[in-house]
Amino acid sequence: MSDHNQVEITKMDYSEDRPEAKKPLKIMDLSLRDGHQSLFATRGRTEDMIPVAEMMDQVGFWAVETWGGATFDTMHRFLNEDPWERIRTLKRYFKKTPMSMLLRGQNLVGYRNYADDVARAFVDRAAANGIDIFRVFDALNDFRNFETVVSVIKKCGKHFQGSICYSMTEQRMGGDVYNLEYYVSKAKELEKMGTDSICIKDMAGMLAPYDAYALVKALKEAVSVPVHLHSHFTSGMASMTHLKAIEAGVDIVGTCMSPYAYRTSHPAIEPLVITLFGTNRDTGFDIKLLAEIDEILEKDILPKYRHLLNDRRVSIISANVLLHQTPGGMISNLVNQLREMDALDKINQIYAELPRVRKELGQVPLVTPTSQIIGTQTVNNVLFDDENERYKMITDQVKDLCYGLYGKTPVPINPDLQKKALKGYSRGEMPITCRPAKVLEPELEKAREDVKDLAKDLDDVLIYALYPVTGKRFLKWKYDKEEPPAEVKPRTMADVKAEQSLIKKALAGKLVEKPEKEVPPKGEGLRRFNVFVDDEYFEVGVEEEGGPPVVSYVRQIPASASVPAVPPAAVAPVPSASSGPPAVPARPALAVAPVSPPVKKSASASMAQGDGTPLSAPMPGMIISYEKGIGDAVKKGETIVILEAMKMENALPSPAAGIIKSINFSAGDSVAKGDVLCIIE
Ligand code: CO
């Protein structure tokens, strides 16, 4: 029996003209979104995309992914770039290649479901600014969360690519939940919704080659729209998975330019071009053109981001993914969070607790935002639970999930946990079963009103509507109402060269380290400062000993840690950090910002009588809001502060009953673990 999907070699002699393929494989390039999101924490700047954009437009990609996912968040938060401006700018260079974005269904480009009015306005503006293809996914594969955005995508005449998150509970595809029937029925559901193509979104790189073959074959038989495979390289399987999917007749795959490929990113395009050369699936791409683009990326762009490579291990694959069926990005997030909390020794407890939490919360796929929801709750359980009580500190997002605010989970949530989570929940203790956004009040008018003195157009309003705290801060930077901090400025090649020459000197033994001196114990008058050196910062403890200030310790904060904003008033020269590793060059002119007033920060047990009870940050994060003010009476267990950690909101309860005596931070401030947020007396 002949299979029309089979790959046929039509030409063996590559020296002559290349025949046109009968059914060329289509390619979506992911370098400018998922590539740098996967490898460099989404820190790629628009100015570093422009040098290759025009050349990439000539390659013949089916589409280039340039927006969505974490870009919107990262750009306004860390890069001081207007996310909307990126689409408009790149659109000027991509004249013939359609631009694609990743849209998280009703979550848009954030981490919760937004109201329908915000969702409609957002998609409408994305289309108007230049997005042609909307790849839409929902973390629970609950396609009711597509309804609102899809109606606008269709109205704007754009391409709707419905995605199915690939997830699993066993070593390979199968089991009770994520089996072949599950994916086929999801694909049929999408076709009924009018999807223009279907994407298998293998965000964790867990789709094994032969499973991909079976899956693509089944989908090709079940639906008539093109099938697209999006697979991450994380576990090392994706190149093989691509090839088996091609043999099963997949229409489109996603790849990266080689400097942006592999690790937690995607397979590279160049080897695939040669693999399919002279077959009926030949991409037709010019390998020389690809090499020219690679050279620019390699020489002029990537050195600026090398320090952000979030996986500094020697090995480029993560066998952990195969072992724990856990997305690589999620693992590195968990490791970072544990490191920040000095609890890295608990990683094995995390691996054991994670599948338990996931099962109890409805066996959800692990993708943004559910990966953060499950990950953060797992960390909370491991750090705060004891043998008498599980789920001692439930995040607000887990409560929302239990209420049904994210949609229907693949299997029901554990009823006891659901009941516990919804006790006293603000929307009600009975979970909902309708389309989640149905219970959300419109949000756009209020957002418009909130920033009427700041926002100049709907795009501005949407930045605020999606990200109230950091969005408002960005609008202040944008309209010169506030000076943006130094760390949001781009890193230049000159910076890179200066650093490289210092490293060279250090390696040659020409930088002399000071002899190590024993650190004296920290005293009562210790004040902490954040010292900013370009993109890095150090925590410095300064103590007065009756004379001039003495620097008592310096701790380098890992580059992956979130960087707190520098208050505008902060500049004072301080001796540079000499106790860091030799590769960290000493530099003059450091900005120093007091982190907090010199309150005693320690466990409540050590607080002196009459000082009141402190509420300390249990983890590093950013203050979203204080629910109470100075002078307010609080009951024990009542929420005082909403703290955002790992993009999840945590309600911090009062450790005691009393009156709030002092509040040490305000909304938008970054805090370290142990910082005293307020005192209750
Ligand atoms: Co991806």
Give me the DSSP letters along 462-490. HHHHH-HHHHHHHHHHHTTSSPPPGGGSP
C-alpha span between 121 and 542 (Å, rounded): 49
Residues pairing with 68 in the sheet: 102
pLDDT for 544: 52
Confidence band (pLDDT; 50, 70, 90) for 567?
very low
Extract the tokens encoding 271.
């080897």
Q: Is 134 exposed, middle or buried (0-12, 13-18, 19+ CB in 10 A)?
A: buried
Mean pLDDT of the chain: 85
- CA 113 – ligand 1 centroid, Å: 20
Distance 268 CA to ligand 1 centre (A): 14
CB 165 within 8 A of CB 365: yes
Question: Cα–Cα distance between 81 and 75 in angstroms, integer?
Answer: 5
Q: How confident is the model over 191-203, as pLDDT tens digits?
A: 999 999 999 999 9
CA dihedral (93, 95, 98, 104) in degrees, to 10, reads 40
Residue 365 CA to ligand 1 center (angstroms) comes to 14
* Residue type at position 475: L
Q: Assess whether pLDDT exceeds 50 at residue 624.
A: yes
Q: How confident is the model at residue 217 (pLDDT cuts 50, 70, 90)?
A: very high
The dihedral over CA atoms of 173, 178, 179, 183, expressed in degrees to the nearest 10, equals: -110
pLDDT tens string 42-69: 999 999 999 999 999 999 999 999 999 9
**CB 403, CB 419: distance < 8 Å:** no
Tokens of 5: 């999907």
Least confident among 28-37, 371-380, 381-390, 564-573: 564-573
Domain 26-308 has what CATH class? alpha beta
Q: What angle do CA 529, 533, 538 make, to 5 degrees?
A: 40
Q: 178 φ, ψ to 5°?
A: -95, 70
Nearest to 416 by CA among 471, 468, 361, 371: 361
- Of the segments 127-136, 482-491, 589-598, 625-634, which one has the largest average pLDDT value? 127-136
81 with 50: CB under 8 angstroms?
no
Distance in Å, CA 37 to ligand 1 centroid: 9
Provide DSSP, 215-279. HHHHHHHH--S-EEEEE--TTS-HHHHHHHHHHTT--EEEEB-GGG-STTS--BHHHHHHHHTTB
**pLDDT average, residue stretch 170-185:** 93
Q: If you measure from the C-alpha of residue 272 to the centroid of ligand 1, how many angstroms do you get, rounded to a whole number? A: 19
Per CATH, the architecture of 326-439 is what?
Answer: Orthogonal Bundle (1.10)
CA 508 – ligand 1 centroid, Å: 41
CA of 102 to the centre of ligand 1 (A): 9
Please give the pLDDT value at position 526.
Answer: 64
How many angstroms does the Cα of residue 443 sit away from the middle of ligand 1? Answer: 29
Report CA(674)–ligand 1 centroid distance (Å): 35
Comparing 192 with 597, the larger pLDDT belongs to 192
Separation of 230 CA from ligand 1 center, angstroms? Answer: 7
The answer to whether the CB of 94 falls within 8 A of the CB of 164 is no
Which is more confidently placed, 221 or 646?
221
Query: Distance from the CA of 76 to the center of ligand 1, in angstroms?
Result: 21
User: Is there a contact between 542 and 526 (Cβ–Cβ < 8 Å)?
Assistant: yes
96-100, 175-179, 293-297: least confident range = 175-179
Q: How would you write 181-195 as a 3-class SS string?
A: HHHHHHHHHHHHCCC
Q: How far is the CA of 167 from the centre of ligand 1 (A)?
A: 13
CATH T-level topology, domain 609-680: OB fold (Dihydrolipoamide Acetyltransferase, E2P) (2.40.50)
Which range, of 471-485, 527-541, 569-583, 596-610, averages the lowest pLDDT?
Answer: 569-583
Q: Can you tell me which residue has the tokens 């499950």? A: 374
Highest mean predicted confidence (pLDDT) among 264-273, 309-318, 503-512? 264-273
Q: For 184-188, 564-568, 569-573, which range has the lowest pLDDT when averaged over its residues?
A: 569-573
Q: Give pTM, 2 decimals.
A: 0.77
Name the burial class of residue 320, with classes exposed (0-12), middle (13-18) and buried (19+) by CB atoms within 10 angstroms of its CB.
Answer: middle
Whole-number Å distance, alpha carbon 34 to ligand 1 midpoint, is 6
Contact 393, 619 (CB under 8 A): no
Residue the block writes with tokens 């938008």: 668
Instruction: Note whether 26-308 and 609-680 share their fold.
Output: no
Residues 551-559 have a mean pLDDT of: 49
CA of 264 to the centre of ligand 1 (A): 9
Tens-place pLDDT, residues 413-468: 999 999 999 999 999 999 999 999 999 999 999 999 999 999 999 999 999 999 99
| Segment (H or E) for 506 | helix 493-507
Burial of 210 (0-12, 13-18, 19+ CB in 10 A): middle
Closest listed residue to residue 63, CA positions, set 286, 252, 221: 252
pLDDT at 587: 31
- Residues 351-374: what's their mean pLDDT? 93
Residue 231 Cα, ligand 1 centroid: separation in angstroms? 7
pLDDT at 499: 81
Distance 634 CA to ligand 1 centre (A): 44
Using CA atoms in the order 51, 135, 39, 562, what is the torsion angle rounded to 10 degrees?
100
For ligand 1, the distance from its centroid to the CA atom of residue 38, given in whole angstroms, is 8
CA of 370 to the centre of ligand 1 (A): 15
Summarised one tens digit per residue, pLDDT across range 641-665 is 988 876 667 778 888 899 999 999 9
Compute, in angstroms, the gap from residue 66 CA to the centroid of ligand 1: 12
CA of 267 to the centre of ligand 1 (A): 12
How many A from CA of 203 to the centre of ligand 1?
Answer: 5
The whole-angstrom separation of Cα 270 and Cα 285 is: 9
Residues with CB under 5 A from ligand 1 (ion): 34, 203
Cα 256 from Cα 546, distance rounded (Å): 59
CB within 8 A of 547, min separation 6: which ones? none
State the distance from the centre of ligand 1 to the C-alpha of 229, rounded, in angstroms. Answer: 10
Tell how far the Cα of 75 is from the centroid of ligand 1, in angstroms: 18
The residues spanned by each domain of the chain are 26-308, 326-439, 529-559+567-572+582-592, 609-680
Distance from the alpha carbon of residue 33 to the mean position of ligand 1, in angstroms: 9
**Centroid of ligand 1 to alpha carbon of 484 (angstroms):** 31
What whole-number distance in Å separates Cα of residue 38 and Cα of residue 238?
14
Beta pairing, strands 197-202 & 159-165: parallel
